[in-house]
Amino acid sequence: MTNEVGAKTRILVAEDDPVSRRVLELFLIKWGFEVVLCGSGIEALRLLERLDAPRLVLLDWMMPGMEGVEVCRKIRQFENRPYIYVLLLTARARKDDVLQGLGSGADDYVTKPFEPQELRARLNIGQRVLGLQDKLIASRDDLLFQATHDSLTHTSNRGVIMDRLRSERSRQGRGGGDFAIMFVDIDHFKHVNDMHGHLVGDAVLVEIADRIMKSVRPHDSVGRYGGEEFLIVAPSADAMGGLRLAQRIRQEIERRPVLVDGSSVSITASFGVAASTMNRLVDPQDMLRAADDALYHAKAGGRNRCELAATDLLDVAKQVEPPALAVAVREKPH
C-alpha cells in the first residue's frame, strides 16, 4: 500500500468481543498501524462502504448481525473501488472452514488464539500485496495517459480528440443539441523557433496549451492536432457560443507574454470556428474543413482573430443584426 512519508497504514478491526478487540488494538498500535475499531459485521460493512475506508481489514468470523464471511462476500461485490485485503480471524481451524473462509473472498486466515508474530507477518504480506497492486495500477494509468495524450503539452493526442469529435456528433444524432469545434493555430510560430530555438518553442507550446486548458469549460475537450495547432470540441455550444469561447481563449493567450529562461515572447493565436446544430447537422469531416477554412480567413485577415465558418456566418446573420454580427466576428486585434 502506498502511503505518504511517515503516514501510518489504516486497518479496520471488526471483533465483537471487547477484550479481544482491545488486545488486537494494543498490538496493532505497537506495530505502527492506525486502528479503526468496530464490534459487528454490519458496522464493518458500513465503514468499508465509505470512499475513505481502510484497505487492510482484520475480520472476526463470528459476529452478531452479519458474520465475517458474509462481510467478505459483500466487499467483493464493490465495483470501481481500490482493493481491500481481508484477514479472517477465527477459532475454526478445520480444512473445510479454511476453504469456506477463503471462498468467501478472504485473502488470508488466522486462527485463534493467534500468535502475535504470525499475525504481524501476515499483515505485512497484506501491505506488500496492496503496495504492489498500487504500483501496477499507477503503471497502467501512466501507460494509458501516454497512449492518449500528447507527450509535450499533455493535451489529448490527435487520435483521442478526433474520437471525441466523432463521439459528440454521434451523441448529437441520438439526443439532439448543438456543439462547436475550433482550430487554434499559434501565430508566427516558425518565427519563434527561428529566433529563440526549438526548446523555447516547446516551452511556448506547453504554456499556450496550459492557457487553453484553463480557459475552456470543464466538459470541453482539447487536443493537439499537429505542430502548433490545437483542436477544441465544445459540447452544448452553437456557432456564437463557440465564437465567444474562442474569443475568451484568444484574449487569455494574448494577455501576457510567455516567459522562458529570461526571454519574453509575445504570442497570439488565430481561431477558426464551426458548429453543428439541430437546424443543420454537419458531418465531422465537413466540420473540420469548415473550421480549417475559417482559420485560413483568420490568418489572411491579420491573425490574432476569430472567424466563423461561412455556413455558420449565414446562420448567425439570420439571428442578429448586421452591426452586432460584425462586432462579434470581426473583432480587431488589440
- Tell me the Cα Rg of the chain: 30
CB neighbourhood size of 13 (10 A): 23
pLDDT at 300 over 70: yes
Angle among Cα 243, 211, 192 to the nearest 5 degrees reads 100
State the pLDDT at residue 113: 84
Angle among Cα 169, 171, 176 to the nearest 5 degrees reads 95
Burial 171-180 (b: 16+ CB within 10 A, else e): ebeeeeebbb
Provide the grid cell at 38. Answer: 468496530
* Residue that wins the pLDDT comparison between 233 and 7: 233
State the pLDDT at residue 62: 85
Interval 118-147 mean pLDDT: 93
Beta pairing partners, 307: 272
Per-residue pLDDT of 208-222, as tens digits, reads 999 999 999 999 999
- Give 328's pLDDT tier (boundaries 50, 70, 90): very low
Per-residue pLDDT of 66-93, as tens digits, reads 888 899 999 999 988 899 999 988 877 6
CA–CA separation, 47 and 43 (whole Å): 6
- Give 323's pLDDT tier (boundaries 50, 70, 90): very low
Range of lowest pLDDT (137-141, 299-303, 321-325)? 321-325
Q: Which of 300, 311, 174, 301 is nearest to 239 (CA)?
A: 311
Per-residue pLDDT of 4-35, as tens digits, reads 434 689 999 999 989 999 999 999 999 999 99
Concerning whether 228 is annotated as a catalytic residue, the answer is: yes
Contact 295, 185 (CB under 8 A): yes
- Give 333's pLDDT tier (boundaries 50, 70, 90): very low
Range of lowest pLDDT (185-189, 301-305, 329-333)? 329-333
Q: 10-147 in CATH: which number?
A: 3.40.50.2300
CA 219 → CA 164, 166, 234, 236, distances in Å?
11, 15, 7, 9
CATH number, domain 158-329, options 3.30.70.270, 3.40.50.300, 3.40.50.2020, 3.30.420.10:
3.30.70.270
Contact 312, 289 (CB under 8 A): no
CA–CA separation, 239 and 182 (whole Å): 10
State the pLDDT at residue 228: 97
State the pLDDT at residue 319: 62
Q: What DSSP string describes 157-203?
A: -HHHHHHHHHHHHHHHHHH---EEEEEEEETTHHHHHHHH-HHHHHH
Interval 278-302 mean pLDDT: 95
pLDDT at 295 over 50: yes
Provide the grid cell at 189. Answer: 510560430
**pLDDT above 70 coverage of the chain, percent:** 91
Contact 99, 71 (CB under 8 A): no
CA 26 → CA 20, 29, 34, 35, distances in Å?
10, 5, 11, 9
CA–CA separation, 246 and 212 (whole Å): 10
Provide the grid cell at 88. Answer: 479472517
Instruction: Catalytic residue, from 15, 43, 207, 228: name it.
Output: 228
Per-residue pLDDT of 154-171, as tens digits, reads 999 999 999 999 999 999
Q: What are the structural domain ranges in the chain?
A: 10-147, 158-329
